[in-house]
Amino acid sequence: MQSFTPRRRQSGFTIQELLVVIVLVMVLVSFNVPVDAASRRTARRMQNSTQLRGIHQGLVTFANSNKNKFAGFDSRGNIIANSKEMTGNSGDGDTVEARFWILLDDDFFTPEYAISPSEVAEVDAVEWGGNAGTATVKWNADTKNYSYAMLGIKGAAGQAPDNAFAGRGQEWQQTLNSQAIVLSDRNTGTNATNKVASIHSDDPGEWTGSVLWNDNHVQFETTQFFQTKYANGALHSDRFGDGTDNLFDSEADPNGRVGVDALMVIAGDDTVHGGE
């Protein structure tokens, strides 16, 4: 007698089951995408702060052989004059361009390191090295060159305390002052209507970025207002009397002195707006 073996049912997904799986995957992906985006944003901000700390470390290393003075000053605390050999014809030593040129010419970091990971553009084809002091070099305060602002140091570091910019100038050296901001992300605001903006935010009028103090600690901040203290001056209180200091607004202290507040410049010796 012939026997029959029952046919096993083939395993697999029905169309309905497959559709359910696809829907579930899409739901899970929709939850993961914002998380991944936030993780990438956090990673970029951490790298941004790391690069800012590295630039400051370059300043400190430079100062070790320049009697504690940062790039832009000579060993006696005088502003370096513009020249091809000293600043690559990029300006006097109090300009941001000249200070970056000095650091890059001495290979304290690469040109790419001066660009924030939050920037979308690449470094412009500019020779930062020994041949950078040519008429063809164009220095623009934008993503093609650098992302970071430096402390305004217009004037000489050794000036009397009541002279303009003396306070900030005296901090452009190794002081380990935890209340003196010397580097930060740039302000991308372009005009009086849009005074502040940031590469880390899409909201006009809002600034966020990394801020570095002269003791080399750095934090990612959501405001440009801080309490600061430069040189031997008192804790800075701005003209509105709320005890805060605007990184992008030069103000006088209660005694009428200027240069004792934080002023982060992105181009030349006094330009605080570096918009696209």
Provide the domain limits for residue 22.
Answer: 15-53+112-125+146-265
pLDDT of residue 246: 87
Q: Which residue has the higher pLDDT, 216 or 273?
A: 216
Domain presence at residue 163: yes
Q: Answer for the pair 205, 197: CB distance below 8 angstroms, yes or no.
A: yes
pLDDT of residue 134: 44
pLDDT of residue 135: 39
Nearest to 55 by CA among 179, 146, 162, 154: 146
Domain presence at residue 10: no
d(CA 214, CA 209): 17
Domain presence at residue 203: yes
Q: pLDDT tens, 11-62?
A: 555 777 777 777 777 766 666 556 567 788 888 899 999 999 999 999 999 9
Domain presence at residue 176: yes
Q: pLDDT tens, 168-183?
A: 888 999 999 999 999 9
**Range in 68-72, 193-197, 245-249 the model is least confident about:** 193-197
pLDDT of residue 12: 57
pLDDT of residue 241: 54
What angle do helix axes 96-105 and 15-64 make, rounded to 10 degrees?
90
pLDDT of residue 149: 94
Domain presence at residue 76: no
pLDDT of residue 100: 92
What is the average pLDDT across 261-269? 87
Q: Which residue has the higher pLDDT, 268 or 234?
A: 268
Q: Is the pLDDT of residue 3 over 60?
A: no
Domain presence at residue 77: no
Give me the number of domains the chain comprises.
Answer: 1
Domain presence at residue 260: yes
Q: Is the pLDDT of residue 239 over 70?
A: no
Q: pLDDT tens, 109-161?
A: 888 889 899 886 555 544 444 444 443 444 444 556 788 999 998 854 444 44
Domain presence at residue 224: yes
Nearest to 155 by CA among 238, 249, 231, 57: 231
Q: Answer for the pair 151, 245: CB distance below 8 angstroms, yes or no.
A: no
What is the average pLDDT across 221-232? 86
**Range in 3-17, 93-107, 130-144, 239-253 the model is least confident about:** 130-144
